[in-house]
Every structure is written in C-alpha cells, then in structure tokens.
Amino acid sequence: MKQPEWYYPRDIEEFREYIKLDGVVIYGGGTGLLRREIRKFAGFIDISKLPLKFVNIAGEQISIGGRASYNDVASEFMAQKPNSIMGKSLGKAASTPLRNLITVGGSLAMAPIWSDILGPLVALDAGIELIGENEGEFAVCEAIRERKIDSKTLVKQIDFTDDFQRSYYYRETRTRFDYPAFTISILANLLSDRTFEDVRIVIAGDKNRFSRLDSLEDKLIGQEIANLDLPSMIESLDLEFADKKHGSSNYLKHVAQIQLERGLKKIVEE
C-alpha cells in the first residue's frame, strides 16, 4: 500500500525546503487536517519541533505562536489577563481534551465558519505572520478572506494589542459541547461617565463568515447605553445567516440580534 513520507523540520529553513516537495501538507497536530481525505497526500511535514508553541503576554502586547493550543492560550489568559476575550472564547470552545489539540494556527488555516477564534482576533485587529508559500505579515481578516493559509503555509504567530478593560463573548450552541452557530465578540473601554470610549463588535458565523459591525460601533462611541434604542439600532444592521443545523436563518438572525443587545448591556454592567 502507498505510504507517506514524514518530515520533521527542526528549524524554519528546513521547513522551507520541505514545502517545495509535491503533494506534502503541514501537520500541526490539530484536528483540522483529519477532516480531509489524508490518503491523497504524499507526505506530512510535522512542525512540532519548530518553536511555535508559546503565549507571550507582556502587558497589553500579546504574541501567540501558531502551535499554541486553545488550552495553552486559555490557561495563560485566565491566569494573567482574565478580563481578556481570549481566555473567555478559547476556554469555552470544543471540549477539555480537544482544546489540547486544536491550535491557533490550525484554526485559522481551516478557518471554518464555526471557529471560536475568528471573532476575537478580528475584534482585536490581530496581525498574523505566515511562513511558507504565502510568506509575510497580514491582518487576520486579510489572511482569512484571501485564503492565504494553505496546505504549505504555516502560521508562525499572531500579534495584537489588547488594551480593553472589558470584553464579552457569546457562542450560540445546542448542547454545551457543540460548535457555535455564531459567536459575538465585544470589546469596550468606558469613560468614567459610563459612555463608550472605544468599542469593537464582531459577529462570526454569518453569511460573510465574519462581520465587524463598525457602523454600530460608530453610533455607540461617546454614548451611554441607557440613552440608546438598542433594538432598533441592531434591527437596522444587515445581519444575515445561512440555514444551519442549530436553526433556520430567520431564527438565527432573531437570536443574534437579541444576544447582541444583551451583550452590549452586559458589558457596561458593574
């Protein structure tokens, strides 16, 4: 029977050599690759020896290696920066053992519509550094929309500044161990009079795959929640979903609107 080759690059240079081969694919230890027909690949590039498993939190500057697992990220954030959306989002995704396997880079490479990491990184305006066929530094949005992370491109690291005092994360699921129909990520800084100094709102899992609600953000800046007609502001947004197993497009839209309203109210509490 046909057998694959296995490559174990010890540094980036060695990695760059291997991706020149035909029919090889990066294996980062995550679960994404296994959803595909792996027997068609001629070889696997195991990147576990590359120094990509790190979570560096230096105050507001954060740098996360592409092979950091969801648990790596969640536990570091819950310990050092518990208010951050990163701990809240990745700590709830999938299940305990799967969070040890799902990697930041792998999630972004597959970028499935149900990903828990997409919303937060878009909200944080994260940048991503890629090595391989599509080398370079990109905004996460760009890398995803232009499908830059392919089978021969790995995520070296993501970087972002997280100077938000408050964060809110919501995932719409059926049972608790479930992929989300959509997620809502909200980041905010408030002034002492409880008006929004800065706010970021991202819905992931909609028809655009993810949407940053900047028109809503603009309407909130300098405002106090209590003075606003949130429901009609949200109603006027162009939120659309596909029919999913969790619910029909109409229902998901209805629930997303309500949960968005609740999220905005919740984030200004306490």
Partner 1 sequence: MGKYKNIGKSVRKVDGLSLATGQEKFFDDFPLDNPLYLALLYSPHAHAEILDIDDSEARKMCGVVDVYHYKNVPRVMHTTAGQGFPEPSPYDNVIFDKKMRFVGDRVAMVAAESEQIAKDAIKAIDVEYNILPAVYDIEKATDNNVPQLQGDDAYVPIPVIFKPEENIAAQVEIAFGDLKKGMEEADFVEEHTYRTQIASHCAIENHGAVAYIDDRGRLVIVTPTQVPFHARRIVSKALSIPVGMIRVIKPRIGGGFGGKQEVFLEQLVGLVTWQHKRPSRIALSREEVFVSSRTRHAMRVKIAMGAKSDGELTAIDMDARMNSGAYGTHALTVLSNAGSKVLPLFNKVKHVHFLGKTVYTNLPVGGAYRGYGATQGYFAFCQEIDNIARKCGQDILEYYKKWHIKEGETSGIFEALGEGKEGVSQYIRSCKLTECIDKGAKAIDWYAKRNKRIRVGESKVKGVGVACCMQGSGIPRVDMGSASMKMNEDGSFNMYVGATDLGTGSDTILAQIAAEILQIPVEKIIVLSSDTDLTPFDVGAYASSTTYVSGGAVRKCAIKIADQIKDVASEMMSADKEDLILDSLYVINIKNKKKLSFEEICCYSLYTNNQFQIQAEASHYGKESPPPFIAQFAEVDIDKRTGHLDLISFVSAVDCGQPINPKLAEGQVEGAVVNGLAYALWEEYLFNSAGKMTNPSFWDYKIFTTADLPRMVTIVEDSYEETGPFGAKSVGEIAIDGPLPAIANAIYDAVGVRMYEAPFTSERIYNRMKEEGVI
Partner 2 sequence: MKSKFIINGVEKTLEYDGYSLLVDVLRANGYTEIKEGCKTGECGACLVFIDDVLVNSCQVLAGSVAGKDIVTVKGLGSLFEPNVIQESFVDSGAVQCGFCTPGMIMAAYNLLRDNKDPDDQQIKSAMDGNLCRCTGYVKIIDAVKLAAERIRENGKI
Instruction: Return the residues of window 80-99 that contact partner 1 according to CB under 8 A.
Output: 95
Q: Which residue in 1, 34, 58, 226 binds partner 1 (CB under 8 A)? A: 1
Q: Which does 38 bind (CB under 5 to 8 A by kind): partner 1, partner 2, none?
A: partner 2
By a kind-dependent CB cut-off of 5 to 8 A, residue 255 interacts, out of partner 2, partner 1, none, with partner 1
- Residue 245 binding: pick among partner 2, partner 1, none (C-beta 5-8 Å cut-off by kind): partner 1
Spatial distance between the Cα atoms of 117 and 111, rounded to a whole number of angstroms: 9
Beta bridge partners of 6: 44
- Long-range Cβ contact pairs of 94-100 (< 8 A, separation 24 or more): 94/70, 94/177, 94/179, 95/177, 96/71, 98/31, 98/70, 99/69, 99/70, 99/71, 99/74, 100/69, 100/70, 100/71
Instruction: List the one residue from 186, 259, 260, 264 that touches partner 1 (CB under 8 A).
Output: 259
Q: Which stretch binds partner 1 (CB under 8 A): 23-31, 103-111, 186-194, 250-258?
A: 250-258
Is residue 6 at the binding interface for partner 2, with CB under 8 A as the rule? yes
Residue 156 near residue 135 (C-beta atoms within 8 A): no
Q: Which of 83, 189, 236, 248 binds partner 1 (CB under 8 A)?
A: 248
- Residues touching partner 1: how many (CB under 8 A)? 17
Which residues between 78 and 107 bind partner 2 (CB under 8 A)? 94-98, 100-101
First-last CA distance in the chain: 63
Closest CA to 50 of 82, 23, 15, 18: 15
Decide if residue 226 touches partner 1 (CB under 8 A). no
Minimum Å gap between C-beta 177 and partner 1 is: 5
Question: Does residue 191 interact with partner 1 by CB under 8 A?
Answer: no
Strand partners, 196: 190, 221
In this structure, the strands spanning 136-139 and 127-132 are antiparallel
Tell me how crowded residue 204 is: count the other CB atoms within 10 A of its CB: 28
Query: Does residue 245 belong to the site contacting partner 2 (CB under 8 A)?
Result: no
Q: Is 242 in the site for partner 2 (CB under 8 A)?
A: no
State yes or no: residue 254 binds partner 1 (CB under 8 A).
yes
Question: Near partner 2 by CB under 8 A, which window of 28-36, 162-170, 210-218, 246-254?
Answer: 28-36
**Can you point out the beta strands (E) in 51-100?**
55-58, 61-65
- Beta bridge pairs of residue 139: 127
Binding site for partner 2 (CB under 8 A): 1, 3-6, 27, 29, 31, 34, 38-39, 44, 46, 48, 94-98, 100-101, 176-177
